[in-house]
Chain A
């Protein structure tokens, strides 16, 4: 095939996907004012998304904190700047690694699951059945997922931040033999509130993008089980891209002179 045609086709494909994602977002926002969505379905999703994800988030966060401390341990040992241990780990975890890693875990677990679920509903005509029963799939399926993913990713990020710091403290105590109180002093003395809130803004944004992207791929599935598989694949990849794009944008804003 003509390489130009390939590029053109790829571009059209990407625009179509982006357009579809924006359409899902527009429909969600329209359904939110005034807020009309299914309460039971929202509770169910909060449970599915949040309660079932916290063990993996705690584990990821704990080891992330530990790794941050071990990484910086060599220099801290050499220089004896134990006060910097908490600052380094806290800064990296709260602003960057916490939200991004947890976001990626979340997209792999919840986003992929969501695409598969909606995709299966699509190919088995359950979405059509909703429509014939005069129920708008956006109100019934998409908005509850949007709300619960945003809310839960924020809560999970806070939880993750906490456990990352605990992981860091335990590691510094037992591996580096730096008192955990010194570690926490380092965290609290370095005034990381800005970083913490930047991290939360990232979490909200990632939650929104993961839900919108995974719903879009799920609802636009065609072609049976293989179609669902393809959609889950595409959803996970697009979610990762989305996370890094939004991460860059928010980091850039947070560090630009406008806000300093």
Chain B
């Protein structure tokens, strides 16, 4: 595939990642950073998650796909501690999330990032303040260091000139990228991307997945990426899980999917028109 580089306005470019082919997954995978067992969640009578088992090791990029409304966002929100499951066990970075107190959760969250499906930018702050916010709040860096890093992260997502705008002055795709920069600013070890390329043009989408992969390789983080854009996420993901009817319907690499006899799996991984799938209309 062709490498789509970002503009060279970066204050401090990531060494050796600026050009060249996309780095592949490390051969040696680390310890388990996310472990989910028997996760169940209902909303009233509607069963959304019906016993999800899932594991992710340090250094992996895992794609999560599935029809709209299957519970992908609910799944990541539970993993981030924003929602309580009805049943099950969630272990994040070696800590039992559901059994931990507020302080432990807080410390855990400093090491975990989430890019929201609906941006969730702070609308009372400028773009620059939004991106700087997690760093400012942590209070470990000096003001000018923060500014440099903000500029760098915004340039990474191809938005070097928007820091003085308010979020409502941005397009949907731009907001998405600001959300990406904000979630990344403290270099979390584990990042959840909830549909990071929804509303983006194909070129920017590819750039974003490229960025996800490069960031992962550069900082050796672990990423979980939800997307409907299977074609463009291909180069970024090591393996996938396909959620269906509250369960993990398929797990494995793209090659596994290609050899699968399951028509649903085949349909989801079909090359070409990745956006329109009949099973989206459930």
Contact = CB atoms under 8 A, between A and B. Distances in A.
Query: What bracket does the count of chain B residues touching chain A fall in?
Result: 20 to 34
Interface string B30-51: 0000000000000000000000
Contacts of A129: 114, 116, 120-122
Given A124-B120, A125-B120, A126-B122, A132 B107 contact: no
B137 A132 contact: no
Given A134-B109, A136-B106, A128 B134 contact: no
B116 A125 contact: yes
Contacts of A134: 106-107, 109-110, 134, 137-138
Residue among B81, B120, B121 with the most chain A CB within 10 A? B120
A7 interface: no
Nearest to A125: B120
Nearest to B82: A128
B132 to A, nearest CB: 11
B112 interface: yes
Nearest to A129: B120
A131 interface: yes
A135 B137 contact: yes
Interface string B89-128: 0000000000000100011011011101010111100000
A124 B118 CA distance: 8
Interface of B: 77, 80-82, 102, 106-107, 109-110, 112-114, 116, 118, 120-123, 133-134, 137-138, 182-183
CB-CB nearest 3 A-B residue pairs? A125-B120, A134-B109, A129-B120
Given A125-B118, A136-B106, A131 B123 contact: no
Contacts of B110: 134
A124 B82 CA distance: 14
A128 B118 CA distance: 11
30 contacts: A124-B123, A125-B118, A125-B120, A126-B123, A128-B77, A128-B82, A128-B116, A128-B120, A129-B114, A129-B116, A129-B120, A129-B122, A131-B81, A132-B82, A132-B109, A132-B112, A132-B113, A132-B114, A132-B183, A133-B109, A133-B133, A133-B137, A134-B107, A134-B109, A134-B110, A134-B134, A134-B138, A135-B134, A135-B137, A136-B102
Contacts of B121: 126, 129
A133 B120 contact: no
A125 B123 CA distance: 11
Contact of A133 (B77, B81, B134): B134
Interface residues of A, number: 13
Contacts of B183: 132
Nearest to A40: B136
A125 B121 CA distance: 8
A132 B81 CA distance: 8
Nearest to B116: A125
A134 B107 CA distance: 7
Interface in A100-147: 120, 124-126, 128-129, 131-136, 140
A133 to B, nearest CB: 5
Residue among A126, A128, A131, A133 with the most chain B CB within 10 A? A133
Contacts of B106: 134, 136
Given A134-B109, A140-B137, 14 more contacts: A120-B123, A125-B116, A125-B118, A126-B121, A128-B77, A129-B116, A129-B120, A131-B82, A132-B109, A132-B112, A132-B113, A132-B114, A133-B182, A134-B138
